[in-house]
């Protein structure tokens, strides 16, 4: 598969936000800054980090074995500056412990489905082409999307479509799914796309692009436990940062972005009880927000890379240690 198709989203802005934490010229060998790419994918962000910050060491995580294989080829010229690990990003604390890294200087998350997963037809992520309904980011483990569709109770499917896809027509779609799966279990994406088109009222088909988009997003999030993992991963990444360390997170839908916003806002808040004349150290904020709200890609970037369109970027700096 060609790696030239992969254009990292908001790359320059991510590098600029992380730069103050990763520019440490002349550090003794082995004592340069450590940056973690929690979502390696095809390695575009990782390659840029290693290139721009020549003293930095990279630790990169991905749950997708094919992504790790392709990225290992891409990052081979950097030798032992890059350590690639097969892991889900909420496993970051375990990975750092195993590698003997107590604190890191930078963390990057590029959430959601990777370009490679969308482009490989047999993965079942894309609603634009017929493929087996799999959607697992790690194909070595877990339950695929077909099993979710064929076995989950109707009420649970409605909950997933509403919570993870923000799908207003969830009940109507699930009624059609339950009716159809009794005739024949679901196996491929084209049948599901057609069913959704037939189930929706005309008005709903006229808004928001492909009518199957929200259902596919919901199934993908459920199959991969994305929000549950993210709820653990972002606080763990913040905890791994040394003072002066920075974290940047690219989200692609409101559920992810809301979760990141909440973690950052909590870290940047003064938690002292009201009325204290002097705020003790343990109540002081431990994060400083580096972005005003969520930053959006430029029009030029979206024109070059349509997958950047929904991106939302937030970043923060660790400004103090936790006080026991």
Binding residues for S-adenosyl-L-methionine: 43-45, 62, 89, 110, 117
Binding-site positions: 43-45, 62, 89, 110, 117
d(CA 145, CA 233): 23
Q: Are strands 312-318 and 241-251 parallel, antiparallel or unpaired?
A: antiparallel
Q: Under 8 Å CB-to-CB from 140, ≥6 apart: which residues?
A: 65
Q: Under 8 Å CB-to-CB from 148, ≥6 apart: which residues?
A: 157, 160, 219, 222, 223
Strand order in the sheet with 287-289: 82-86, 57-62, 34-37, 104-110, 241-251, 312-318, 287-289
| Dihedral (CA of 252, 257, 263, 268) sign | positive
DSSP letters of 40-108?
Answer: -TTSHHHHHHHHH-TT-EEEEEES-HHHHHHHHHHHGGGGGGEEEEE--GGGHHHHHHHHT---EEEEE
């Amino acid at each position: 598969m060609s790696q030239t198709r992969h254009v990292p989203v908001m790359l320059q802005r991510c590098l600029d936000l992380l730069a103050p934490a990763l520019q440490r010229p002349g550090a003794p060998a082995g004592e340069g800054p450590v940056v973690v790419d929690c979502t390696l994918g095809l390695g575009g962000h990782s390659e840029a980090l290693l290139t721009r910050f020549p003293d930095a060491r990279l630790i990169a995580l991905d749950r997708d074995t094919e992504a790790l294989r392709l990225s290992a080829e891409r990052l081979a010229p950097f030798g032992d500056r890059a350590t690639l690990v097969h892991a889900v990003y909420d496993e970051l604390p375990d990975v750092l412990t195993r590698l003997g890294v107590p604190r890191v200087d930078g963390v990057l998350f590029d959430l959601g489905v990777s370009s490679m997963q969308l482009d490989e037809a047999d993965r079942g992520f894309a609603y634009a082409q017929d493929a087996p309904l799999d959607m697992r980011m790690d194909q070595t483990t877990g339950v695929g999307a077909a099993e979710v569709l064929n076995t989950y109770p109707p009420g649970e499917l409605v909950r997933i479509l509403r919570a993870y896809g923000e799908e207003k027509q969830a009940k109507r779609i699930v009624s059609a799914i339950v009716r159809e799966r009794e005739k024949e279990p679901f196996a491929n994406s084209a049948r599901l796309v057609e069913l959704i088109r037939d189930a929706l009222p005309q008005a709903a088909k006229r808004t928001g692009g492909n009518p199957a988009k929200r259902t596919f997003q919901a199934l993908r999030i459920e199959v991969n436990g994305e929000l549950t993992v993210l709820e653990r991963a972002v606080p763990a990444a913040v905890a791994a940062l040394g003072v002066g360390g920075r974290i940047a997170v690219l989200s692609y839908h409101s559920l992810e972005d809301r979760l990141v916003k909440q973690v950052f806002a909590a870290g940047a808040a003064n938690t002292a009880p009201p009325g204290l004349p002097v705020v003790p150290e343990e109540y002081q904020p431990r994060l400083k927000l580096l972005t005003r709200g969520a930053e959006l890609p430029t029009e030029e970037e979206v024109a070059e890379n349509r997958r950047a369109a929904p991106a939302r970027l937030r970043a923060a700096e660790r400004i103090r240690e936790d006080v026991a």
